[in-house]
Structure formats: C-alpha cells, structure tokens
Chain A
Amino acid sequence: MNIDTAKPAYVIVYTAVISAIFTATIMTLNVVATPAIEQNELVFKNRALVEILFEDAGASNLPEPPGQMSEQEILAVFDNRVYRSTLTVPETGQVIDLWTGYRSDVTRRGDEVTAIPPVEDVVGYAIRINGVGFWEPIEGYVALGPELTYSRGVVFTRQGETPGLGAKITEEEFRNQWAPQRELRLDPPESGDKHVYISKRNREDIPPQSPEKNRHVDAITGATQTSIAVMKFVNDDLATFYRAARAAELLSQGPPSPQQAATPTDQPETPAENQ
C-alpha cells in the first residue's frame, strides 16, 4: 500500500484519529478503574482512622487489632464504631471534621445514623492534619484519647517527602512515638507555645521544667525540614481544634485562655453524617 503521508489532509486526519483512539482508550480505562480506585482510597482512609482510634483492640472491644483486619472488617468497624461530625471554630467560623470512635455500635437506619453511644463509650477522637512538607503537601490524621489530653496515634495518608528520609514519617519508628503508651501530651500547654515539639533533642536530656517535657517527639535524622513542617502544621491544627473543642464543650479540662473562650456549641445534636 502506497500512502502519501506528507499530504496536509492526511496529517490532520491521521493525527485526529490517533488522538481519538488513544484518548478513548484512556477514558475507557479510567471509567472502568475509577470505582476500584475510589474503593481503595476509601478503605485506605478508613483503615487509617480505625487503626489510630482502635489500636488497643481489647479496650476498644474489638475481636482483633485493626492491623489484622480484612478490608470488609475495617469498613464494618468504621461504619459501626466511628461517627463523623463537625466542630466550628467560633472566632473564624472554620469547620473541622471530627471522627469519634466508640466501644459500642452506633445505631443506624439504613445509611443514616439515628443514635450514638454515650460519651463514656468514647475511645478517642481523630482530626485531620495537613500542611506543606519539604516537597509536597502532607495530609493525615491525629487521634486523641477521650479526655483530649494524650495522643492515641498519628497516620499520614498523603506525602511526597524524600524516600528514606522525610518519608519516614509514615514508618512505625516515627509513628510509635505518638502511641498511647508513650503518653505524648497534646492538650493546650500551660507554658510554651507548642502542643508538641519535634526536635533533635534527646528525650532524656529534657529538664522536667521544660515546656518540651512529655511533649517531645524525636525528629527524623536527615529530614529536619520535614520534621519542622510536621511540627508546625500539627501544632496549628491542634490549636484550631482545641478552640473548637472548647466551644463545643468537648474539652472539660485544661487552662482557659481568652482566645479559647467557650461559645455555644454548633455540633449537631442529632447525628446526620457518617462517611
């Protein structure tokens, strides 16, 4: 077959046809794959929340630790034990998502949550944390115990830090420092200006009177910028959360401050949303 591929009309038609074929291929692939990708994302985020809220399976009244659960079990625990609500920061009107984990099941009618367990059944609260890392935005969740005093865990769901350095924020060595047994305080500090310090200091060298005492997390070696970035946005997000929590009367203890004066709660009395 002898084709004159130099003819302008042929060039235009060929380019259009080739572009249409390959674009259609990609569009079809996307349409077919999107449900599976969205399901993977849902499981990933729900697993992250379930793991930091219910790490202590026995105390959380779960048959096994979340890390050993299948995809279906994770989704079931999330649907039955986690209630999503919102808090509002009174000064700015900013709305914060709050995930509350319970020892017992929430009551549902279809997809709608009709009743939540009593406050005594709360195992912890989780809030979203996000900020700009060394290379890319970082997103995740931090969980606190029912008294909103100590950390229950941290997880990062999105990050693009240097593999082997800043990316170690997703590894157990860094995350374990936020586990309940480490008793990392996150409540509003009585002195100093940070909820949590992520620094190169040796934990044993911190004097008892230092504001860093019991609020210290070891920075990642070689990833100072990532450590500083995480410390900054975690502190910012915690400060915002505590203002909203105080306004919603979730925070029963801790030093009062003029900026954190309580205002009427805007947390919905009847559950309306749980995703």
Chain B
Amino acid sequence: MPPQDALTSSVAFKAQLWDDNPIFRQVLGICSTLAVTNYMFNTMLMCIGLIWATTMSSLTVSLLREFTPKRVRIMVQVLIISVYVIVVSVAMQVWYPDIYRSISAYVGLIITNCIVLGRLEAFANKNPVVASTADGFGAGVGYSFILMAIATVREYLGFRTLFGYAAPTPFADQEWVIMIMPPGAFFVLALAVWVARGYDLKRQAAKESAS
C-alpha cells in the first residue's frame, strides 16, 4: 500500500486535472486565458511559466507553512510567487530573448494569476510538501491543457495555422479575425466550459445509473 502522502499527491494531482480544474471548474486565471490564447506558441510558453510558478510556489509555501505567521501569510505567498516568476522572466531574457520579447507582458501577469495564489491558500498552506507540489503541478497542467485547446481553436480559425504553420482547412480560405480578438476568447472559453461540464455531467449520470 502506498504511503498516505503519496496517495494524497496522486489524488491532489488528478483533482486539479479534471474534477477541480482551475479553468472550467473554479473559473480562475481567466484574464490570461483571454490574453494569450490567440497563438499556440505564446500559450505554450505561458503555460510552462505557470506550471513552474505553481509547482515551485506550492513546494516553498508548504515547506514554510509551520513557520509562517497566519497574519502575514498572503504577503509571504505573493513574495514567493514573485520570486519564481522573476526567475522565469530573467531566464527567458538570458536564454530566449526573442521569445521573451513577444510574451514579456504575459510573464509578469503570472504573479497576479488567481490560480497560483488560490492553490497556495487553499492547499499548500495546509498540506505536506509532496502533496502540495503535486497539487501545484496538477493545477498548472490542468490550466495548460484547457488553454492549449482554446489556443488551438483560436489560432486555427483566426490564422488558419497551428504553431505558426499553415494548416489544411475544409472551409473557405477566410480567416476569422474575431477569433484572435478578445471576444473570440470569450466564445471559445464558454464553449470549452460547456463541453467539459456537459461531458462531466454525462459521466456522473452514467456512474449513478451503474451503481
């Protein structure tokens, strides 16, 4: 039988992927969802940055949870998130300066992303290190796969490309400019939430009828 912490880690990770998914369950991180998803490449980089920030922040906050006074915990959490986001920012400026130039505005936005602070306050602040790290990583991955799905639809319909490469299309060769504008993100996000929740309801109904 696996140790309790490992079991909790697995549960925490899986919950963030689907049952408590930050985007379509908790409806968190919507600002960046609207801002970055018109290009798959930009979205992918934003997701990598967010996975790093949620994972490392959760790990650090969990490590310090016994020592952090309750009345200053939010300040400490924001400080920790900022440090890890600045690490991402500096690393990109050193090793990937061209990419940084195209998404620098979004990297800074990770600090204010509700998902990161939300997971620290809701989970990492109260749970062991391994489980908290798994929770943070799961939240990042759960956010990422929804974002990538939205970006795929928006870039394909808006530019007729995928990751910047021309993609074949059965439709008339007309780009839907609205898809790369913020309203396009609202439409696709709403559809994504609808599809995911609809699937979830069907799955639960099937489970209940089976039991």
Chain A interface residues (CB < 8 Å from chain B)? 1, 3, 5-6, 10-11, 14-15, 18-19, 22, 25-26, 29-30, 33, 36-37, 40-41, 44, 158, 160, 162-165, 167, 221-222
Contact = CB atoms under 8 A, between A and B. Distances in A.
Contacts of A29: 86-87, 90
A19 B101 CA distance: 29
A37 B72 CA distance: 34
Interface string B96-127: 01100110010000000000000000000000
A257 B32 CA distance: 51
B79 A33 contact: no
A33 B72 contact: no
B93 A22 contact: no
A158 B105 CA distance: 12
Contacts of B69: 5-6, 10-11, 14-15
Interface in B138-190: 158-159, 177, 180-181
A15 B97 contact: no
A15 B76 contact: yes
Contacts of B75: 15
B83 A164 contact: no
Nearest to B159: A164
Given A6-B70, A44-B97, A164-B39, A18 B86 contact: no
A18 to B, nearest CB: 6
Contacts of A18: 64, 68, 76, 79
23 contacts: A3-B66, A6-B69, A6-B70, A11-B71, A11-B72, A14-B72, A15-B69, A15-B72, A15-B75, A18-B76, A22-B82, A26-B83, A29-B86, A36-B94, A37-B90, A37-B93, A37-B94, A44-B101, A160-B105, A163-B42, A164-B158, A165-B177, A222-B180
Contacts of B82: 22
A33 B94 contact: yes
Interface residues of B, number: 33
A168 B84 CA distance: 31
Nearest to B71: A11
A3 B67 CA distance: 7
A7 to B, nearest CB: 8
Contact of A33 (B36, B71, B90, B159): B90
Contact of A163 (B39, B67, B80, B86): B39
Contacts of A165: 177, 180-181
Contacts of B80: 22
Contacts of A11: 69, 71-72
B38 interface: yes
Contacts of A33: 90, 93-94
B180 A164 contact: yes
B67 A5 contact: yes
Contacts of B86: 26, 29
